[in-house]
Amino acid sequence: MNGQRNLDRVREKRRRLDPNTSRICIVGSGLAGLSTAISLSQAGFRRIQIFERDPSLDCQKEGYGLTLTYNPKGSLSELGVLETVAQHDCPSRSHYLFRQEEEETTSIDRSEKFRQSGAVPIGYFGNAFFDKQSCIRGYGQRSNLRIPRKLLRKILYEKLLHTLREQELEQKRKQRKDNPGINNGNIVNNNSSVGVHWNHSLVDYKWDEGNNQYHLRFSVKNESPVSLELSDTIINATADLFIACDGIRSSVLQQLYNETKLKGTDFTEKNKISQPNIRDSPQLYGLHPIGVRLILGIANNIDHPLLRERGFYTVDTKGHRLFTMPYQSNRFDFSNDQSHDMNDSAKNSHSSRIMWQLSFSTKNNDVTSSLDSSSLREYVLKVFKNWHPPVLDLVRATPVGSIWGTDLMDRNPRQVYEDLIVGRTSRSTTSSSRGQSRLIICGDALHPMSPFKGQGANQALADGPLLSKMLLKSSINAAITNWWRETLNRTAPIVLSSRKAAKNWHDPMRIVQPSSDRLDRNSRGADEGYHGFAGVKPSLIPSLVKVLRKRSIGPHLGDKLDLKIRNVIQEYNWFDNNDNNANKDGGEESNIEKYTNICEHVLQLASIGDTERLRQASLSSLSGCRHQYQYCKAMVEAKDEKERTCLHLAALNDHRFTCHWLLVEMRVLKQRHQSCDNSGQNRNNSSSSSSSSKNQNPLAKYHGLDIEGKTAYDYALQTGNNELIKIFQVVMHDEL
């Protein structure tokens, strides 16, 4: 008897998860849950169910902005949404780091405006301060994408629905091929039961050893049409694989901790009431308080030079840190304005929504325990009272009800694995313990982390694609074991480094008092690299900061700040000349043929509207800087036999997204403008036909003219596509 049971266990251990018949249950429809469902569906699994306690996709609050990595081989690409996310990117191209000085230190030998702002630049990321800047430097695809969390969730949900529709169509095509006599309308995919079940809250779950399945119970709230009172209906489900994606306060983990660490024995109502709660006692459930409070808000319709497709950090001597980033831009808002007038189209185009975060150590600041919006706003206004512009304007432009705060916590995923998976199995031989081999924990349920490395969403998105790969090539037990190993190796160090970053960012001694020794370490890639000043020799940054402070150069200068700082760097010749090698475009005669081939390639991509491959060609990570700059240069200069550029061809064929990328990311008009200014003449020789075109459009010399004397903008007008036309109008107004 025991021998047969052991044999059955061995067979079960070697069994693979059947894509057509195995039931997979996912709890939670956040980023981790949806990405897991998409990747499993793409891998061919048919019976996937997502259970979500929210009543609908849109019921959550707006949420916060995410920083995602643009990686052609990363999770977004594997899920098939990289280009969609990139098209919704709200770009942030540079940022300053300011030090907000104490009031008494700003009252001596300072201008009145500087005394009012009391801030000095101590760091910069961007390309404003490179000495011999080529016309293509700093343009192309950025390594980061900025997108609201709620929008990303919607993109993933729509991708899941699209994947399911494709599955059903493929199943119907297969059935028609196998049974050509069956009428199309009678074909039903009996194996497909993928979907999202809204308004389902997990009650409990239990492992069934006999069937090697989990039994799950969900509570569904129903509103009585007579009494309008809510009542609960219990729904049962079974799972061959159970995946918890239900966030930092995971119900799945709460039950697992209660059973394993807190010695819960059963789930009667009496015992449930007496058990601890994950919200009230987070440390009992593996959560580690970081000691940092974060307050977040989203300012509406605000414009300032430091916020135009850029952001800034500000730190003070008391451990406060302010971070801002573009959240949503109306620069190309097509909902209202369909005018063809350039000035009207560009009017108020820089008014945007900006996300801001104030974070600080709860150990060094006197804060109340209240997290209601009014109390948080009052505290923020108190902190920002004497801060530089436009900080107070950000808060005043933020609706009070949208401000929220939280005390940050993280969780060590290795500890979860040791305590609840490995440790539980080794301590017990109960059927419940053996069921943990069929349990996967993803996203913030397993590895929540502080936001100060910008990796939380990226890591959550990576969990699902990894799981689908493992399940396709190994038995279920081996696949899950391998998934745990790789996930822990990937995420545990990031959780710890994010915790370290949280401490560093809120330690005044580490942030506001840079030393030459630390800057030398930063140049070698140390974690403390908050004081980098792009384009400036690292060893000279303290001297630069000292001069900027003495001359009262700070954020109060607005759009003149870049120029003032550049003048100082140029005066002392503090440019980082080592970076000039990146500007070489490899134009030697031996590379002429190669460059010609590159030109032909990018022209072909532009003509068919392949924005994704153009983006990737602009990335330096593909094959080195020289390769990158050759491609970027070709996107500006390449012409076909009719003298048409990439922008001409994209506009001619009405490829709106390609034109948008060339204009906004590659900034082809700006680069042609710089080239003309540097050479002192127009590169396009004028003829009688071209003179006529220039008279109609004074900006034509910066577009480039084809043999018919037309600019890319002329072709955009020719399409009649108002959205495409407006993109040109806004960019021409802003860039030139």
CATH code, domain carrying 725: 1.25.40.20
pLDDT digits (tens, 9 = 90+) for 661-697: 999 988 888 877 766 665 544 444 444 444 444 445 5
Residue 66 lies inside a defined structural domain of this protein = no
- In the predicted structure, residue 108 carries a pLDDT above the cut 50: no
State whether 370 and 340 are in the same domain: yes
Amino acid 145: pLDDT: 93
Tokens encoding 321: 């840190």
- Indicate if 130 and 200 belong to the same structural domain: no
Model confidence at 589: pLDDT above 50: no
DSSP at 388:
P
Residue 565 placed within a domain? yes
Alpha-carbon span 31 to 50, nearest angstrom: 12
* pLDDT score recorded for residue 346: 45
pLDDT at 18 over 80: yes
Q: What share of the chain is helix, strand, coil (3-state, %, to 5)?
A: 50, 15, 35
pLDDT band at 107 (very low <50, low <70, confident <90, very high): very low
Domain stops at, among 581, 601, 619: 581
The average pLDDT across 521-530 equals: 39
Whether 702 and 668 map to the same domain: the answer is yes
What local confidence, expressed as pLDDT, does residue 60 receive? 80
Write down the residue that tokens 């079940």 correspond to.
197
Pairing verdict, β 213-223 and 200-208:
antiparallel
pLDDT confidence of residue 594: 84
Residue 95 pairs in a beta bridge with: 125, 311
71 part of a folded domain: no
Rounded CA-CA distance 100/316 in Å is 5
727 to 146, 169, 338: CA distances (angstroms): 20, 37, 11
Mean pLDDT lowest for which of 69-83, 291-305, 439-453, 503-517? 503-517
Q: Which residues contact 101 (CB under 8 A, 6 or more apart)?
A: 118, 119, 120, 316, 317
* pLDDT value, residue 686: 40
Q: Give the DSSP H/E element, type plus range, for residue 4.
A: helix 2-14
Higher pLDDT, 171 or 694: 171
CATH number at residue 384: 3.30.9.30
Given this model, what pLDDT does residue 224 score? Answer: 57
Is residue 390 reached through a cis peptide bond, with omega within 30 degrees of 0 on the bond before it?
yes
Q: Between 456-473 and 31-42, two packed helices, what is the crossing angle to 10 degrees? A: 30
Same-domain status, 475 and 576: no
pLDDT range class, residue 586, cuts 50, 70, 90: very low
Cα dihedral value 491, 249, 239, 75, nearest 10? -30
Q: Give yes or no: residues 101 and 201 share one domain.
A: no
Q: Which of 354, 368, 261, 366 is nearest to 309 (CA)?
A: 354
Question: Coil, strand, or helix at residue 202?
Answer: strand
173 shares a domain with 29: yes
Question: Residue 95: pLDDT above 70?
Answer: yes
pLDDT in tens, 304-313: 999 999 999 9
Q: What is the pLDDT of residue 137?
A: 57
Q: Are residues 295 and 280 in the same domain?
A: no
Is residue 365 scored above 60 in pLDDT? yes
Helix extents (H) in 285-397: 342-346, 373-383, 391-396
In a domain, 677, yes or no: yes
CA-to-CA separations, 283 to 269, 277, 491, 665, in angstroms, rounded: 23, 10, 20, 45
pLDDT band at 459 (very low <50, low <70, confident <90, very high): very high
- Does residue 89 belong to any structural domain of this protein? no
Q: Are 424 and 436 in contact (CB under 8 A)?
A: yes
In this prediction, residue 520 has a pLDDT band, given cuts at 50, 70 and 90, of: very low
Q: Are residues 281 and 166 in the same domain?
A: yes
- State the DSSP code for 336: S
Q: Tokens 């034509």 map to which residue?
A: 700
Q: What is the pLDDT of residues 247-277, one digit of tens each?
A: 999 999 999 998 887 664 444 444 555 667 8
Query: Which range (150-154, 219-223, 518-522, 577-581) has the least confidence?
Result: 518-522
Report yes or no on 400 lying in a domain. yes
C-alpha–C-alpha distance, residues 60 and 65, integer Å: 14
Which of 169-183, 186-200, 398-412: highest mean pLDDT?
398-412
Q: Average of pLDDT values for 121-134?
A: 78
When pLDDT is averaged across residues 91-106 and rounded to a whole number, the result is 80
- Which position has the higher pLDDT, 427 or 359? 359
Give the pLDDT band (50/70/90) at residue 340.
very low
User: Does some domain include residue 65?
Assistant: no
Q: Is 443 or 181 the better-scoring residue by pLDDT?
A: 443
Q: Quick check: pTM over 0.75? A: yes
Q: Are residue 492 and residue 590 in the same domain, yes or no?
A: no
Report which of 433, 9, 29, 19 is spatially closest to residue 243, judged by C-alpha positions: 29
The confidence score (pLDDT) of residue 517 equals: 40
Integer CA distances (angstroms), 234 to 202, 218, 220, 270, in order: 10, 6, 6, 19
CB atoms within 10 A of CB 180: 7
Amino acid (1-letter code) at residue 279: R
**Helix (H), strand (E) at residue 243:** strand 241-244
> What is the C-alpha to C-alpha distance for residues 369 and 418, in angstroms, rounded to an integer?
33
Final residue before a domain boundary, out of 409, 444, 460: 409
Tokens of 182: 């069956």
Averaged pLDDT score across all residues of the chain? 81
pLDDT of residue 562: 94
- Which stretch of 237-251, 375-389, 617-631 has the lowest confidence by average pLDDT? 617-631
| Average pLDDT value for residue range 525-542 | 71
Q: Do strands 287-302 and 352-361 pair parallel, antiparallel, or not at all (unpaired)?
A: antiparallel
**Predicted confidence band of residue 229 (pLDDT cuts 50, 70, 90):** low
What's the mean pLDDT in 350-375?
A: 84
Looking at residue 561, what is its pLDDT? 96
Q: Is the pLDDT of residue 461 over 90?
A: yes
* One domain for residues 727 and 627: yes
Examine residue 261 and state whether it is found in any structural domain, yes or no. Answer: yes
Helix boundaries (H) for 453-591: 456-473, 476-505, 508-511, 516-523, 541-550, 561-572
Mean pLDDT of 557-585: 80
E strands in 317-435: 321-329, 352-361, 404-411
Residues of the domain holding 160? 18-60+149-285+412-498
Range scoring the smallest mean pLDDT among 116-125, 186-195, 446-455, 569-578: 186-195
Q: Which of 202, 159, 212 is nearest to 22 (CA)?
A: 212
Decide which of 472, 498, 524 is a domain's last residue. 498
User: Would you tell me the crossing angle of helices 516-523 and 541-550 to the nearest 10 degrees?
Assistant: 130
Between 674 and 472, the higher pLDDT residue: 472
Reading phi first (left if > 0) and then psi (alpha if -120 to 50, else beta), residue 288 is in beta
List the one residue out of 356, 357, 366 whose CA is nearest residue 318: 366
Query: What pLDDT score does 429 carry?
Result: 47
pLDDT at 262: 66
What is the number of domains present in the chain? Answer: 4
* Shared domain check, 172 and 30: yes
- As a dihedral over the C-alpha atoms of residue 186, residue 190, residue 193, residue 194, rounded to 10 degrees, the angle is -70
Residues 229, 111, single domain; the answer is no
pLDDT digits (tens, 9 = 90+) for 201-211: 999 999 998 88
More confident residue, 518 or 648: 648
